[in-house]
Structure 1
Amino acid sequence: MTEHDPFASPEGVRLQKVLANAGVASRRVAEQLIVEGRVRVNGTVVTELGRRIDPENDLVDVDGTAIQLDQSKRYVMLNKPTGVVSSMKDDRGRPDLRRFTKDWAERLYNVGRLDAETSGLLVLTNDGELAHVLAHPSFGVTKVYIAKVEGRVTPQTIQRLTHGVELEDGPIAADKARLLSSSAEGGGSLVELTLHSGRNRIVRRMMAEVGHPVVELVRRQFGPLHLGTLPAGRARELTKVERGALLTLARRAAGDAPEPRDSSDPRSDQENQ
């Protein structure tokens, strides 16, 4: 964000108008929010109704939730089906993500990757800075997976996953793990794993290491986003609440964040599950 002092000149847009344009509330309600001290600009509470800001540079939040002011940014949730590679153009001619972005004029990119045989929540956006925070494992954004695996998983195995297993590229531990179901008749088990690692095919490798190869794998959650009832192969724009949650997460991380490699291209090579 560039340096900007909205008190230096009468330039800019009144804060209540910015909030109304962003769909937060009507201008009258926005004025009430400001007077009540519930609005911050660049981290500082603003209570003056005459305050003008630069929507292109200033950061605004209401009750601690970030507000999207840049309407050129798009945030899309896709339930990626199996058999589709996480690429906007696959050099080998395999089914890719382009078919899911036709409804948006903006050039969208996937945030991280899911391997072709893994389904579930994938974020598509043209916001490079936010994508970098979501995809880079140093920011600790968690992802939740449901794995159908071979064999009967025991509580001891779940404990081993959270304590850590040794893989060829180093030790790894799940942030959380829990057994959802286990069949005594050999029908396999369902395991929920929460991870912030971006290592290649990490869920599949972890489960293979503990003796329970993955049969099916789906990502149900990415940071504050939940897949919910979105059908496989369908994409939708994030709601205002979901966008606010994502932007809030990204801004909280920004103070410690390394600079993105290229903010114009939010693709990441960090993650294949």
Structure 2
Amino acid sequence: MSGGAGASLQADGERLQKVIAAAGVASRRVAENLIVEGRVTVNGEVVDALGRRVDPATDEIAVDGVPVQGDASRRYVLLNKPVGIVSSLQDERGRRDLSEFVDRYEERLFNVGRLDAETSGLLVLTNDGDLAHVLAHPSFGITKTYIAKVRGNVNPGTVQRLLDGVELEDGPIAADKVRLLESAKGESLVEITLHSGRNRIVRRMLEAVDHPVTDLVRRSFGPLHLGSLPVGKTRELSTVELGKLLRIAREARGSAQAGPDEESAD
């Protein structure tokens, strides 16, 4: 064991190669090779000898610098939320909610952030509270990309206004990126990327530039992309996607304590 020389082998816990294999990163035999080659770290220290035992729930494991979720009890699901579903696990008004998508999982999952009922697209469901906090909180600057169908023909000047910033009732807001995808026959398609978590922010920004939204889809959330996932379907995150999210979460632990939560809904 180098880098972490002096760290004694844990008498309990699970073997490191078993945890890596259970996380879906590699077979146990390949995981052993990764360890011997010095490509695995535990809590930031290189482990290059077999026999190390870890606590999957607390030890931070990485392979080639990419974080690995060793806790098999954690689940991460991507949902393409349909229009008409409220971002709640039990809606008090009896509307369709997320319970119909999480009930199929053994774990008790909850949503990361929100999408309003009339917005469809990417929503993350998980039982990892620490990760959910980082992803949902605006202070960590997770970007989201939306495709908006709006009334009217958007022109380059309007795109620049969105980039420069518009004034809303709760303060100014500027998009990180804006692309005009299509504009014809009194309608336009606009791709807009921003990191704000303010309520219904995309709709309010486009309303402020006189292009009300008629349809809104969230296509990406941080490193996650909706891809070809059909509306109303779920899939579990790949090990690569999860590694990217865990890296964001682990880096955020060193950040300043977050302020009051903002509701992330668009």
Alpha-carbon distance in 2 for matches of 1:82, 1:181: 22
> Hey, what does 1:170 align to over in structure 2?
171
- Note the 1:79-158 alignment, pairs <5 A: 79-158=80-159
Gaps of 5+ in 2: 1-5
> 1:257: Cα distance to partner?
5.3
Alpha-carbon distance in 2 for matches of 1:259, 1:217: 29
Aligned-pair identity (%):
66
- Note the 1:1-273 alignment, pairs <5 A: 7=8, 9-183=10-184, 185-186=185-186, 188-256=187-255, 258=257, 270-273=263-266
> 1:36: Cα distance to partner?
2.2
Alpha-carbon distance in 2 for matches of 1:94, 1:258: 35
Alpha-carbon distance in 2 for matches of 1:159, 1:147: 16
Letter matched to residue 188 of structure 2: S
CA contact (8 A) 2:80 2:122 kept: yes
Alpha-carbon distance in 1 for matches of 2:174, 2:265: 17
Deviations 1:141-194 (A, max 9, x none): 1111000011111111111111111111001011111111111x32x1111111
> 1:80: Cα distance to partner?
0.8
> 1:54: Cα distance to partner?
2.1
> 1:17: Cα distance to partner?
2.6
Deviations 1:201-248 (A, max 9, x none): 000000011111111000000111111111111122222222222212
Alpha-carbon distance in 2 for matches of 1:73, 1:9: 23
RCO higher in structure (CA 8 A, sep ≥6): 1
Letter matched to residue 19 of structure 1: I
SS of the residue 1:116 aligns to: coil
The TM-score with structure 2 as length reference comes to 0.92
Alpha-carbon distance in 2 for matches of 1:6, 1:104: 38
CA contact (8 A) 1:129 1:260 kept: no
Alpha-carbon distance in 2 for matches of 1:14, 1:6: 15
Alpha-carbon distance in 1 for matches of 2:241, 2:259: 22
SS of the residue 1:88 aligns to: coil
SS of the residue 1:221 aligns to: strand
The TM-score with structure 1 as length reference comes to 0.90
Deviations 1:76-114 (A, max 9, x none): 111111111111111111111111112101111111111
Alpha-carbon distance in 2 for matches of 1:124, 1:202: 22
CA contact (8 A) 2:35 2:47 kept: yes
> Hey, what does 2:3 align to over in structure 1?
none
SS of the residue 1:250 aligns to: helix
Deviations 1:58-84 (A, max 9, x none): 100111211111111111111111111
Alpha-carbon distance in 1 for matches of 2:161, 2:45: 45
Gaps of 5+ in 1: 262-267
CA contact (8 A) 1:6 1:12 kept: no
Alpha-carbon distance in 1 for matches of 2:195, 2:29: 42
CA contact (8 A) 1:12 1:54 kept: yes
Compared with structure 1, are the counterparts of its residues 142 and 58 closer, same or farther at alpha carbon in structure 2 (3 Å cutoff)? same
CA contact (8 A) 1:109 1:126 kept: yes
Alpha-carbon distance in 1 for matches of 2:100, 2:24: 30
Letter matched to residue 43 of structure 2: N
Q: Which moved more, 1:59-68 or 1:14-23?
A: 14-23
